[in-house]
Amino acid sequence: MNGEALNMPQRKIPCMLMRGGTSKGPFFDMRDLPADTATRDKILLKVMGSPHPRQVDGVGGTETVTSKVVMVQPSEREDIDVDYLFAQVAIEEALVDTSPPCGNMMAGVGPFAIERGMVKAMVPETTVMIYNINTNAVIEAVIQTPDGIVEYDGETAISGVPGTAAPVLMNLFDQAGGKTGKLLPTGNKREIIDNIEVTLIDAGTPMLLIKAEDIGLDGAENTQFFKDHTNIMIKIEAMRLETGRRMGLGDVTHSVLPKVAILSKARAGGSIKSQYFTPHTLHAAHAVSGAICISTASQLRGSVAADLAEVKGDKVEKIVIEHPSGSIAVQLETDGEGDSLTVIKAGVIRTVRKIMDGLVFVPENI
| Per-residue model confidence as pLDDT tens digits over 20-34 | 999 999 999 999 999
The 10 Å CB-count burial string (b at 16+, else e) for 31-65 is eebeeeeeebbbbbbbbbbbeeeebeebbbbbbbb
pLDDT of residue 274: 98
Over 80: is that where the pLDDT of 5 sits? no
pLDDT of residue 260: 98
| Per-residue model confidence as pLDDT tens digits over 83-138 | 999 999 999 999 999 999 899 999 999 999 999 999 999 999 999 999 999 988 89
| Mean pLDDT computed over every residue of the chain | 95
Over 80: is that where the pLDDT of 270 sits? yes
pLDDT of residue 168: 97
Over 70: is that where the pLDDT of 4 sits? no
Which one-letter DSSP state was computed for residue 142?
E
CB 331 within 8 A of CB 318: yes
Same fold, 2-171+352-363 and 191-340: yes
The CATH number of domain 2-171+352-363, selected from 3.10.310.10, 3.40.50.2000, 3.40.640.10, 3.20.20.70: 3.10.310.10
**Cα separation of 275 and 67, whole Å?**
20
CB 315 within 8 A of CB 258: no
**Cα separation of 285 and 21, whole Å?**
10
The two counts, helices (H) then strands (E), for the chain are: 8, 16
Mean pLDDT value of segment 249-259: 95
- Give, in order, the Cα–Cα distances in Å from 20 to each of 152, 176, 194, 287: 11, 23, 36, 11
Q: Report the percentage of the chain scoring pLDDT > 90.
A: 90
Mean pLDDT value of segment 256-279: 96
Write out 249-281 in H/E/C secondary structure.
CCCCCCCCCCEEEEEECCCCCCCEEEEEECCCC
pLDDT of residue 1: 43
Q: Could you tell me the sign of the dihedral formed by the alpha carbons of 285, 289, 290, 295, in that order? A: positive
At 6, the pLDDT band (50, 70, 90 cuts) reads: low
Torsion of CA 351, 59, 179, 289, to 10 degrees: -20
The domains of the chain are located at: 2-171+352-363, 191-340
Mean pLDDT value of segment 344-358: 96
The 10 Å CB-count burial string (b at 16+, else e) for 144-159 is bbeeeebbbeeeeebb
CATH 1.10.10.10 for the 191-340 domain, yes or no: no
At 342, the pLDDT band (50, 70, 90 cuts) reads: confident
pLDDT of residue 9: 87
| Per-residue model confidence as pLDDT tens digits over 165-204 | 999 999 999 888 888 999 999 999 999 999 999 999 999 9
Question: pTM of the full predicted structure?
Answer: 0.85
Mean pLDDT value of segment 41-45: 98
pLDDT of residue 129: 98
Query: Which pairing describes strands 316-323 and 272-277: parallel, antiparallel, or unpaired?
Result: parallel
